């Protein structure tokens, strides 16, 4: 009788700890680094996690979890397996790197501008 009580208590404690750990395993795909994505998401290793970060940097924030399927190596099945782990929060907009052409155009526009004289 005593062993049954110990087994039931152990089982209850195991279920309690497992549910608490499962509830904490969420990741914001718009702010997480590659290490966090690799740790939390199922079927996403270091290379795919880095691809997610690079895609986000190049294309801006994700608007939905389904947009992860646009990342090379991530399919809709992977998104579905991780749906309860994915959060799509907003953060400050990611700045896209300036291209050489736009930098040259900005510089040319700045040099052509006439100074404003106030009296």
Sign of the Cα torsion 75, 78, 84, 85 reads negative
pLDDT at residue 7 is higher than 90: no
- Alpha-carbon distance of 72 to 50, in angstroms, equals 11
Q: What is this structure's pTM?
A: 0.58
Taking only Cα atoms into account, the Rg of the chain, rounded to an integer number of angstroms, comes to 24
Structure confidence by residue, pLDDT tens digits, 90-111: 765 444 555 555 555 555 555 5
SS3 content of the chain, % helix, strand, coil (to 5): 60, 5, 35
- Alpha-carbon distance of 55 to 75, in angstroms, equals 14
Structure confidence by residue, pLDDT tens digits, 48-75: 999 999 999 999 999 999 999 999 999 9
Domains and CATH numbers, the chain: 26-89 (1.10.150.280)
């Amino acid at each position: 009788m005593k062993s049954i009580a110990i087994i039931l208590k152990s089982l209850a404690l195991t279920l309690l700890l497992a549910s608490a750990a499962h509830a904490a395993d969420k990741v914001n795909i718009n702010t997480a680094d590659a290490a966090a994505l690799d740790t939390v998401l199922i079927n996403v290793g270091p290379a795919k996690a880095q691809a997610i970060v690079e895609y986000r940097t190049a294309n801006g924030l994700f608007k939905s979890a389904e947009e992860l399927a646009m990342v090379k190596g991530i399919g809709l099945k992977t998104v579905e397996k991780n749906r309860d782990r994915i959060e799509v929060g907003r953060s400050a907009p990611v700045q896209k790197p300036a291209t050489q052409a736009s930098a040259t155009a900005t510089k040319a526009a700045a040099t052509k501008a006439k100074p404003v004289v106030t009296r």
